[in-house]
Amino acid sequence: MIKLEKQNGIATVTLCREKKQNALSFEMFIDLSKVIKNIKKDRSVRAVVITGEGDHFCAGLDVAAVMASPFNIIKLLMKWLPGNQNLAQKVVLGWQSLSVPVIAQINGNCLGGGLQIALGADYRIVHVDAKLAIMEARWGLCPDMGANVMMSGLVKRDQALWLASHANPITAEQANELGLVTQLTDNTQQATQNMITTLLERSPDTLAAIKRVTQQSYKPQQRKILAKETFSQIRLLLNPNTKKAIAKAKGKTDITYANTKRW
């Protein structure tokens, strides 16, 4: 479900569930984590491109498939210490652990977990007709894949709050105005190649140093954010209103949320 190809120093990572718009299954989380480890060990890789098979980047989490097994949810969220990265967070922040540039090449839908993975990249090349969204709130959940760590360096606080709360897709132009997009284009393949050509003209050591220094200058309280993400998601998964939100997302209209203790 995840394809890794290496050619001329470029590692291309492709999400491969075209019939599901590359929606994320549990197995894809496992594969992505392995791919990141593979690239990290390969000193011949100079740049990474993340893309989706077919017309879309990624439609987000395949909620029905993942939540069908409570054990899979535990494996996604489990961590030894609160501030550590769990599996869901590793497939986003893992790209930041690489010393080479990582480019998300985005066409079509880039939703939910798909957008969070794209936020983990260093650059986002986005087609002018693409749609982007953080959609977890539709299912009564909160973004919990490490995107909050990355958003703090890209988007103003009120806009990040609104984007995650309304949970509706926005246009590529709107995403660009918010700061989520590195470059808008009508040809993502060519724009990505142009960026790689420029990057490969620079010393790999220089690019690694720039990436690390830039990360440090924008670094939020990462461990606290990761701990809060996971704690909040577990609490939501146990909340009766979450089941109602899932039912509402599936089309049921006679839903009334219970008045629960505020956070």
d(CA 110, CA 126): 10
Q: In what order do the strands lie in the sheet with 131-133?
A: 109-111, 131-133, 170-171
- The pLDDT tens digits of the residues spanning 145-172 come to 988 888 888 999 999 999 999 999 999 9
Compute how many other C-beta atoms are within 10 angstroms of the C-beta atom of residue 15.
27
Residue 255: predicted pLDDT? 80
Closest C-alpha to 49, from 90, 102, 9: 102
Check residue 103 and report its DSSP letter. E
2 within 8 A of 14, measured Cβ to Cβ: yes
d(CA 243, CA 24): 20
Please give the sequence-ordered ranges of beta strands (E in DSSP) within the chain, or none if there are none: 2-7, 10-15, 47-52, 102-106, 109-111, 123-127, 131-133, 170-171, 183-185
- The pLDDT tens digits of the residues spanning 222-233 come to 788 888 888 888
d(CA 1, CA 16): 5
Work out the percent of the chain whose per-residue pLDDT is above 70.
Answer: 98
> Which pair of tokens denotes residue 121?
């990249």
CATH fold label, 2-205: 2-enoyl-CoA Hydratase; Chain A, domain 1 (3.90.226)
Q: Would you list the domain boundaries of the chain?
A: 2-205
- The pLDDT tens digits of the residues spanning 158-211 come to 999 999 999 999 999 999 999 999 999 999 999 999 999 999 999 999 999 999
d(CA 82, CA 142): 17
Residue 103: predicted pLDDT? 98
The DSSP element (H or E) to which 157 belongs, if any, is helix 157-166
121 within 8 A of 154, measured Cβ to Cβ: no
d(CA 191, CA 55): 17
d(CA 77, CA 16): 23
Minimum mean pLDDT among 42-51, 208-217, 235-244: which range? 235-244
Check residue 23 and report its DSSP letter. P
Q: pTM, whole model, 2 decimals?
A: 0.89
